Structure 1
Amino acid sequence: MSVALRAVVLESDDPVSLGGFWSAALCSTIGPGVEGVTIPFGEDEQSLLYIVERTRRVTGDENNETPLMHLTASHSLLEEADRLVELGAIIEEEKWVINSSLKVGWFGMADPEGNRFRLLSSDREIAEAERKLQSWS
């Protein structure tokens, strides 16, 4: 048995503007939602990112201590991080597994409204690092 992720919900002061960032980040379309916008994602685009009008005021970083989403780069962690920064994200933290030459790790990032997420190395980068590690032993 398993579960499938069908939706992620973010609250925003400006759902349309933040939806523009996330639709570009996910290379997807943006559509209307009941209280904001929706962005389909995933291979079959059956999962949805809902961005709705913020219902409560947040003071400080109380909702931003732990990343809400973990995203995987499709090709290269560094290239994808650069692309997201060009779209308006910021890099808050950088973590490399073992050493940076393996190109496996993650970036702690925030979208234009400060919603934190983690961008992880691509499956290809991980497989390549595993091959390198095996050759070193």
Structure 2
Amino acid sequence: MAARITELVLDCTDPERLAAFWGEVLGYEILDRDDVSVEIGPKDQRTTLLFLRNPDRKLQKLRLHIDVRATDREQDEELERLLALGATRADIGQGENVSWYTLHDPEGNEFCLLSGRVDP
């Protein structure tokens, strides 16, 4: 028997803001919320993201990050969409000759936009 990941928990200062951002990025909906957290996920709820209020600010590069791929457009078009949603470009030493974009979400958490498409 094995375990499986059911949710990823991200500490943040503003769960509503970050849940709204990631909900738009991933096409997820709000599944649950309370005074200190907001949980989003797909309708089948296989793996969800839980944004948990924490007053501590992020101080260094994350040791775990999220990678995303576009489902219905080219990588450059998806980059423009993510930037319009509030992502910003990030330089973490990845260099110029890579096939992905490194970005920050609205609270500075790193994530990557990979090349190629994936089924929705």
TM range (shorter): 0.7 to 0.9
Contact 2:74 2:117 in 1 (8 A): no
Does structure 1 residue 17 correspond to structure 2 residue 17? yes
Corresponding residue to 2:101 among 85, 88, 107: 107
Superposed displacement of residue 87, structure 1:
0.2
| Cα distance in structure 1, aligned partners of 2:97 and 2:7 | 29
**1:5–1:79: structure 2 CA closer, same or farther, 3 Å change rule?**
farther
SS across alignment from 1:122: strand
Superposed displacement of residue 5, structure 1:
3.3
Does structure 1 residue 122 correspond to structure 2 residue 116? yes
| Cα distance in structure 2, aligned partners of 1:57 and 1:84 | 25
| Cα distance in structure 2, aligned partners of 1:67 and 1:117 | 9
Does structure 1 residue 5 correspond to structure 2 residue 8? no
Identity over aligned pairs, percent: 29
Aligned to 1:69: 66
Give the partner amino acid of 1:86: A
| Cα distance in structure 2, aligned partners of 1:3 and 1:122 | 29
Contact 2:87 2:103 in 1 (8 A): yes
Corresponding residue to 1:79 among 62, 77, 80: 77
Contact 1:77 1:122 in 2 (8 A): yes
| Cα distance in structure 2, aligned partners of 1:115 and 1:16 | 15
Does structure 1 residue 36 correspond to structure 2 residue 37? yes
Superposed displacement of residue 67, structure 1:
5.2
Structure 1: runs of 5+ lacking an equivalent: 98-104, 125-137
Alpha-carbon RMSD across the aligned residues, in angstroms, is 2.6
Figure out how many residues of one structure are paired with residues of the other and give that number. Answer: 113
| Cα distance in structure 1, aligned partners of 2:46 and 2:114 | 22
SS across alignment from 1:8: strand
Structure number with higher helix proportion? 1
Q: With structure 2 as the length reference, what TM-score do the two structures score? A: 0.77
Structure 2: runs of 5+ lacking an equivalent: none
**1:65–1:32: structure 2 CA closer, same or farther, 3 Å change rule?**
closer
SS across alignment from 2:90: strand
